[in-house]
Amino acid sequence: MPLPQRKRTVMPIPIEQEKDTPFRADEDEECCFCFKTTRFWTALPDRKGGEQVACCPPCSKLRTPSQVPSKSAWCEEARKRRPSLYPGQP
């Protein structure tokens, strides 16, 4: 349960390390802010599991949850940046 917010402070983005997957460097996802590869994902309480996006620890401290892009926006950006990873997609 999220705690009630009494004042507006910069709240870091909750993240968690990707679990249950053997480490494979080529499967790292790109942080939704800086596009460095990371194995950390957002753990936003108001998003379902499939709607979380990759977010590296440094960016999670600099940004706020309201700045996290939607999953679809993030996927679209990732496709634009690395089209070779998404063959057959526009």
Q: Is 26 exposed, middle or buried (0-12, 13-18, 19+ CB in 10 A)?
A: exposed
Q: Write the DSSP symbol of residue 49.
A: G
Of 13, 15, 31, 53, the residue at the interface with Zn ion (CB under 5 A) is: 31
- Touching Zn ion, residues 50-69 (CB under 5 A): 56, 59
Q: Which stretch binds Zn ion (CB under 5 A): 11-19, 24-32, 44-52, 80-88?
A: 24-32
Task: Tell me how far, at minimum, the Cβ of 33 lies from Zn ion, in Å.
Answer: 5
- Residue nearer to Zn ion on the CB measure, 11 or 34: 34
Whether 50 and 71 have beta carbons less than 8 Å apart is answered as yes
Residues that bind Zn ion (CB under 5 A): 31, 33-34, 56, 59
